Each structure stands twice: as structure tokens, then as C-alpha cells.
Amino acid sequence: MISGDLQRVLEEVYRAGAHRVPADDIDWPQELHAAVFRALNMQYITRREIDGSVRFSLTQAGYRAIDAEVPWGRILRQRMRDLMRMATGR
């Protein structure tokens, strides 16, 4: 069982898209900032900087913690778009 704040953080990332979600798309109130760091430390989420933009993704452990399914279809579509952009040079 995880704390309520930690669960809120994970569910917020999941609702926002779960994979490579821009930090600007997630509205974490000030009181959840400690839970965000805890989620990063516990490896429930990852933080990456891509093209100058900070993005968050749920990990397998994060999906398990909130008992959610991995949205493989959405992730694969996003990866295909990324590959197409790279191929066309955009």
C-alpha cells in the first residue's frame, strides 16, 4: 500500500498520458512536490529532459503501484510519431 499523496502523483501522471508527459501538462500542487521526489526515488516514475522539455513517465513499478494497465497502444503510437519526425528531420 502506498501513501495517498504518492498515489495522487502516480495517478496524475497516468491521467496525463503516462509516458513522456511534459511537466507543463501536469498540475501538481505545492503539497505534492515531496511525493513527486519520493516517486522518483522509489522509481515509480522517471524524469527525462527531451529537447529542452522535462517529461515524466510511469515505470512498470508505478503502474503496479496504482494497479493500472500499461497503455501500450498509446506508447507505440507516440514512438512511431517520434521516429517519423526524426526521419523527416522535423
pLDDT at position 1: 63
- Give the global pTM: 0.77
Domains and CATH numbers, the chain: 4-88 (1.10.10.10)
86 has a pLDDT exceeding 80 = no
DSSP state of 68: -
* Cα separation, 57 vs 38, whole angstroms: 14
Q: Provide the pLDDT confidence category of residue 90 given band limits of 50, 70 and 90.
A: low
List phi, psi (to 5°) of 30: -50, -40
More confident call, 84 vs 72: 84
pLDDT tens for residues 8-31?
999 999 999 888 899 999 988 999
pLDDT at position 47: 97
